[in-house]
């Protein structure tokens, strides 16, 4: 799931003109019929983990910003979201959500890896 998220965050990053890396890669693909080597291919997200991805997207949509970029999701953010949604996270689910958040923040910080 982290490989999926890393590739998605990287490809969805938009430049100053509003064009995403995905848009650039798809344009090259249309012209050459080859996916450009310097852009990661987005791996499939396993169906069994789709709900965790959906939870992360929902949580992330409520995140704040410091003015210098997105804030990490805090423990109170997770707690409030779980209470509002009526969800009790398993420890491994909480760990997975935190790892997704760290991956997202790294993608937004200028450390734009293609992992």
Distances (CA, A) of 1 to 24, 48, 77, 78: 24, 10, 22, 19
pLDDT digits (tens, 9 = 90+) for 45-86: 999 999 999 999 999 999 989 888 899 999 999 999 999 999
> Is residue 66, in this structure, part of any structural domain at all?
yes
Tokens of 83: 């209470």
pLDDT digits (tens, 9 = 90+) for 79-105: 999 999 999 999 999 999 999 999 999
pLDDT confidence of residue 112: 44
> Is residue 113, in this structure, part of any structural domain at all?
no
pLDDT band at 109 (very low <50, low <70, confident <90, very high): confident
| DSSP per residue, 23-74 | HHHHHHHHHHSS--TTS---PPPPGGGHHHHHHHHHHHHT--B-SSSBPPPP
Please determine, for residue 12, whether its predicted confidence score (pLDDT) is greater than 50. Answer: yes
pTM of the model: 0.85
> Is residue 115, in this structure, part of any structural domain at all?
no
Query: What is the residue range of 9's domain?
Result: 2-108
Count the domains in the chain: 1
């Amino acid at each position: 799931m982290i490989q999926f998220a890393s590739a998605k965050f990287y490809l969805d990053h938009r430049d100053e003109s509003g064009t995403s890396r995905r848009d650039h890669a798809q344009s090259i693909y249309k012209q050459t019929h080859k996916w450009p080597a310097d852009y990661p291919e987005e791996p499939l997200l396993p169906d069994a983990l789709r709900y965790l991805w959906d939870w992360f997207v929902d949580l992330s949509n409520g995140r704040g910003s410091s003015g210098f970029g997105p804030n990490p999701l805090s423990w109170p953010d997770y707690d409030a979201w779980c209470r509002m949604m009526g969800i009790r996270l398993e420890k491994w689910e909480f760990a997975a959500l935190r790892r997704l958040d760290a991956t997202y923040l790294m993608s937004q910080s200028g450390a734009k890896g293609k992992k």
